[in-house]
């Protein structure tokens, strides 16, 4: 709503011949508080969707028509707002559904990863136990071989000693 003031149409107070004092001069600053104002037509500005009638003047002659136009604009804006609100609600529900779906997918992936990790851990532990038992059996096999080699070395030493005695007895 735009209110404008018109300049004052009153003339300054004339000085009277009986008094020697001169009346103070009136300026815009001194008379601004006391100047009567005249209201121009009231104007409303509406959104750009109503570009065909950007300003609707309100004056007494066609105020009923202007109020009806204003009511129609309010109704159309209300309908547009309700449509946008419904569209927005639908879009929000769709996004919420998408988010719920993504959350479910994340839970499935987490469960699969958890199962996979558990399976891999069990596989690694199983392989470790298998390697440990193989190492243990190989260690005992190596120990048995060392014992046999040591027995064979002792037998070879005894045979060499007997061969040496036999050679010496034959030469004598």
Q: Is the dihedral of CA 55, 60, 61, 66 positive or negative?
A: positive
Strand pairing partners for 56?
44
- Report if residue 19 sits inside a domain: no
Question: Residues 42, 57: contact at Cβ < 8 Å?
Answer: yes
Structural domain harbouring 46:
1-7+26-58
In tens, the pLDDT along 8-56 reads 444 455 555 555 556 556 565 555 444 444 444 444 444 455 445 555 5
**What pLDDT does residue 71 have?**
86
Same domain, 97 and 149: yes
Q: Which residue would you say has higher pLDDT here, 134 or 60?
A: 134
Same domain, 80 and 44: no
**What pLDDT does residue 120 have?**
95
Q: Phi then psi for 57, rounded to 5 degrees?
A: -75, 140
- Report if residue 71 sits inside a domain: yes
Confidence of residue 167 (pLDDT cuts 50, 70, 90): confident
What tokens does 133 get? Answer: 């038992």
Question: Residues 20, 13: contact at Cβ < 8 Å?
Answer: no
Q: Which residue would you say has higher pLDDT here, 34 or 62?
A: 62
Same domain, 78 and 2: no
Query: Which range scores top for mean pLDDT: 38-52, 90-104, 153-167?
Result: 90-104
When divided into structural domains, the chain yields a total of 2
């Amino acid at each position: 709503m735009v209110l404008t003031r018109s300049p004052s149409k009153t003339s300054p107070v004339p000085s009277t011949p009986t008094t020697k004092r001169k009346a103070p001069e009136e300026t815009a600053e001194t008379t601004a508080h006391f100047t009567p104002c005249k209201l121009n037509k009231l104007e409303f500005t509406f959104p750009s969707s109503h570009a065909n009638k950007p300003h609707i003047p309100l004056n007494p002659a066609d105020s009923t028509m202007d109020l009806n136009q204003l009511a129609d604009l309010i109704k159309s804006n209300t309908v547009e707002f309700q449509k946008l609100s419904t569209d927005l609600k639908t879009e929000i529900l769709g996004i919420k559904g998408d988010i719920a779906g993504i959350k479910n997918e994340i839970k499935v992936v987490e469960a699969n990863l958890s199962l996979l990790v558990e399976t891999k851990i069990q596989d690694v532990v199983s392989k470790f136990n298998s390697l440990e038992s193989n190492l243990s059996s190989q260690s005992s096999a190596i120990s048995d071989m060392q014992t046999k080699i040591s027995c064979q070395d002792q037998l070879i030493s005894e045979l060499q000693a007997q061969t040496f005695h036999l050679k010496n007895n034959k030469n004598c």
